[in-house]
Amino acid sequence: MAVRPITIIGHRALHSPTKKVKEVTDEIRTLVADMFDTMEAAEGVGLAANQVGSRLRIFVYDCPVSKDERVRGLVVNPVLERLGAPAPLDEDEDGEGCLSVPGEWFPLARHPRARVTGTDLDGNEVVVEGEGLLARCLQHETDHLDGYLYVDRLTGPIKAEAREAVKDRGWAADGILKWDPSTAKAEDV
């Protein structure tokens, strides 16, 4: 399989809702395999299809749920259910990053638990439920598929700080709308 370039904030693919998958084709199976390779090369815990230039409603994840355990999978046509009320923002504990905003971390309050339902590549029902980092990942990746980046959900001074950081990076101004995780790490972009 292959590592694909990851789109960076400012790329229009990140700001448009994705399209429901009607039929899983060989091309979609290749896309998913490439997404896993790309996520691994970028050292991410989740990746949505529009982050690699596809308009399809699919995400993959490989997320630690404890010190010794990870959960890995994919969801086609995910539907998100946020569970529980978000706790007040803890700027030290609620940091979030994104492969499409590489090298930046900002605090964002999320619901403490989340459930995603959808299907796998064979049409079997998939239900993924989690708390902590997995809940954050499920919400984050589904947001991508709905056309939102986590920085879009920031508020107040944190939102201003994020805007300034993105401006300082100069990605859009310099015409940089993708990065290649096979040749660079997010911090190098």
DSSP state of 64: E
Specify if 41 maps to a domain: yes
* Reported confidence tier of residue 176, pLDDT bands at 50, 70, 90: confident
For CA atoms 64, 70, 72, 77, give the dihedral sign. negative
77 and 20 Cβ atoms separated by less than 8 Å:
yes
Average pLDDT over all residues of the chain: 93
Domain that holds residue 89: 6-171
Helix (H) or strand (E) holding 26: helix 26-42
Residue range 78-97: average pLDDT? 87
Which residues are part of the catalytic machinery? 141
What is the rounded CA–CA span in Å between residue 60 and residue 48? Answer: 6
Q: What is the CATH number of the domain that holds 116?
A: 3.90.45.10
Specify if 189 maps to a domain: no
What are the tens digits of pLDDT across the range 102-131? Answer: 999 999 999 999 999 999 999 999 999 999
* Reported confidence tier of residue 185, pLDDT bands at 50, 70, 90: low
Among 9-18, 28-37, 80-89, 155-164, name the most confident range.
28-37
Q: What is the pLDDT of residue 170?
A: 85
Which residues are part of a known binding site for Fe cation? 98, 140, 144
Residue type, 36: F
Q: Can you list the positions of beta strands (E) in the chain?
A: 6-7, 46-48, 58-64, 70-83, 95-97, 105-107, 113-119, 125-131, 178-179
Q: Specify the range with the lowest mean pLDDT, choosing from 119-123, 132-136, 148-152, 171-175.
A: 171-175
Q: What is the pLDDT of residue 61?
A: 98
Specify if 181 maps to a domain: no
Work out the percent of the chain whose per-residue pLDDT is above 70.
96
121 and 32 Cβ atoms separated by less than 8 Å:
yes
Cα radius of gyration rounded to whole Å, the chain: 16
Q: What is the pLDDT of residue 188?
A: 61
What is the rounded CA–CA span in Å between residue 105 and residue 35? Answer: 22
> Domain tally for the chain?
1
Residue range 68-80: average pLDDT? 97
- pTM attached to this predicted model: 0.93
DSSP state of 66: S
What are the tens digits of pLDDT across the range 27-68? Answer: 999 999 999 999 999 999 999 999 999 999 999 999 999 999
Specify if 111 maps to a domain: yes
Asked if pLDDT for residue 4 goes beyond 80, the answer is yes
Which residues are part of a known binding site? 98, 140, 144
Phi then psi for residue 71, to 5 deg, are -120, 140
Phi then psi for residue 99, to 5 deg, are -65, -15
Specify if 185 maps to a domain: no
Record the tokens describing residue 152, joined without a space.
Answer: 């879009």
* β-strand partners of 59: 48, 75
* Reported confidence tier of residue 189, pLDDT bands at 50, 70, 90: low
